[in-house]
Amino acid sequence: MHADDVIFLGEWSWLNAQHLICLLRYCFLISGLKVNVHKSNVLGIGVSDDDVASMANVIGCGATNLPMKYLGVRVGCNMSRCSNWNVIITKFCSTLSSWKARLLSIGGRLSLIKLILGSLPSYYMSLYLMPTTVRNKLESMRNKFFIGGDQEDKKVTWVKWKKCMASREREGLGIGLWARVIQNLYGIDGGINKIHGCYSKRSTWGAIVHFISRLKVQGMDLLSLCSRNIGDEESTRRVTLANWSLVLRRDPRGGIETSQFNALKAAIGLKLNRLPSRVNLDRKGIDIGSILCLICHEDIETVNHIFFNCGMAQDLWALLAKWWELNIPLCANISEWYDRLDDSPIPSKARFILEGVGGALLWTILNYRNCLLFSSSHSKKSDLWDSIVSQSFLWISSRNPKFRCSWVYWLQNPLATISSL
């Protein structure tokens, strides 16, 4: 029941239809509120159209079928299809057609975007997940209106629309609406950190928060699997504990700034430190017998030891430096490897590919270690380097269609080959 609209659900039978007619009659006699039966509709699921028409004649109402519209929203259709969102696009077009964007100032256009264009799809978005294609179409229409052009015109956009949508704290215009709606309803963090069952599952965002909480109770923390970066899409940087000065305008001044800065460093971390090495498992109270390295049996198995300090790992890193003809000292951890990579005097394209080769090396070491632990058969140490060279070539050539390098040149001198492309 919503305001003066009511939906009756029940088993399809003539007896239920008679009971419903009597119920509506008693409601009118008791309250004096007459039900407009001729404005109502009957809908049957899994019932033939003839049966629905017969039932409508008995009740005295109209007959309908799915999909239908209820409270202005389409019900019974696949809302993941872009065609079912045409009603929103039509509303945008009809609203924009009556506005003369060229006659309004930029302040007037901004006010209209925030008050009207930003709120038109919010009702649908609170119930259904909007497809990316529809969202991009609506944002394109808002962008064209903001720059003062008609929908058919192609005007130059001097400022990125994503920059305009950002909040004023992030030097934007605060046009983005949905994030503010979520914050006002569920808090600054969107209700992610609230206790289980705090919010209803009826809304789209409430259902998301609810199921994240349920999975966390079952031992699956989805938020811990999310990677965190600093920067926007174009200037994202790798941040380590040694180069925070590169991304901070000034050092923390103590108090709450220092505590928040320490929390930020702890939240970002390095993914490699979360791997279940023998030392990490032992710290969690899991009985694993020995904490010595599975590969060399000479030192305790930490994450840094597996990938950088083990004798086999050091030999592989030395072969990588010799193959690329680079003077790369042996690194002690992943942070030093990224620092060496950023400081290497090679072109940016070659640096990007070298990072992929380093990833193939790390993956090969981890795969070899896991095979020693879980599998009865594993590769020989002498075959690991050949696997790194071939695997990195397959990865890079498949991920980058513009990578034009033959297998022979890749074996001989990859740096010179990539620099000449």
In this model, does residue 295 exceed pLDDT 60?
yes
Tell me the per-residue pLDDT of 320-341, one tens digit each, with 9 for 90 and over.
Answer: 989 988 888 888 888 888 888 8
Among 88-97, 110-119, 304-313, the least confident range: 110-119
């990578």: which residue's tokens? Answer: 403
For the chain, what is the mean pLDDT? 75
What amino acid occupies position 109?
Answer: R
CA separation for the pair 245, 255 (Å, rounded): 19
Highest mean pLDDT among 7-21, 102-116, 203-217, 252-266: 7-21
Judged by average pLDDT, the poorest of 48-62, 370-384, 399-413 is 399-413
Which CA distances in Å does 353 have to 98, 137, 200, 234? 53, 35, 47, 18
What's the pLDDT at 315? 93
- Rounded distance, CA 227 to CA 235, Å? 16
Q: Which of 154-158, 193-197, 290-294, 379-383 has the lowest mean pLDDT?
A: 193-197
pLDDT band, residue 92 (cuts 50/70/90): confident
Tokens of 387: 């696997």
Residue 410: is its pLDDT beyond 80?
yes
Task: Report yes or no on whether pTM surpasses 0.75.
Answer: no
Which amino acid appears at position 221 of this protein? Answer: D
Beta strand 73-75 with 68-70 is antiparallel
pLDDT given at position 232? 47
pLDDT in the model for residue 194: 62
